[in-house]
């Protein structure tokens, strides 16, 4: 079956603009995660959904970042008033059951966001 997909693969925007990044998880996966990966670093947790609700959004850096998953499948990460420091690769992952146990996360290819 299809893996995790993310669109767009690349996004270039200007400082101050609003962007939306989309993640389509593996069908049937109830858990969905967003990470941010800056150049030369490992992924950094942003937010975790279990079904439609954000079970943990403690990794969101500030209130300009917001994510939704209204039907428990596709998720959108929204960034308002983008800043140059938001430039990074945004990774999405999904898993079957959630964080209990060694639940394997399957990652998408990421969206590379560049803020000029």
Partner 1 sequence: AQTVTQSQPEMSVQEAETVTLSCTYDTSESDYYLFWYKQPPSRQMILVIRQEAYKQQNATENRFSVNFQKAAKSFSLKISDSQLGDAAMYFCAYRSVLYRDNYGQNFVFGPGTRLSVLP
Residue ranges that bind partner 1, judged by CB under 8 A: 3, 40-46, 48, 55-56, 58-59, 89, 91, 93, 98-102, 104-110, 112
Q: How far is the CB of 101 from partner 1 (least distance, A)?
A: 7
Q: Which residue number, 15 or 52, has a Cβ lying nearer to partner 1? A: 52
DSSP string spanning 6-27? EE-SEEEE-TT--EEEEEE--T
Q: Which residue number, 14 or 102, has a Cβ lying nearer to partner 1? A: 102
Q: Which residue number, 82 or 110, has a Cβ lying nearer to partner 1? A: 110
How far from 82 is each of 3, 53, 63, 79, 87, CA to CA, in Å? 29, 25, 11, 6, 9
């Amino acid at each position: 079956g299809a893996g995790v997909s993310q669109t767009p693969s690349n996004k270039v925007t200007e400082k101050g603009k609003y962007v939306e990044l989309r993640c389509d998880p593996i069908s049937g996966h109830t858990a969905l995660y967003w990470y941010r990966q800056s150049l030369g670093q490992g992924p950094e947790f942003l937010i975790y959904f279990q079904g439609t609700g954000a079970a943990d959004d403690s990794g969101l850096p500030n209130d300009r970042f917001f994510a939704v998953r209204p039907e428990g499948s596709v998720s959108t990460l929204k960034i308002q008033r983008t800043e140059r420091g938001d430039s990074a690769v945004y990774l999405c992952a999904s898993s079957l059951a959630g964080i209990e146990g060694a639940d394997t996360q399957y990652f998408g290819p990421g969206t590379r966001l560049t803020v000029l």
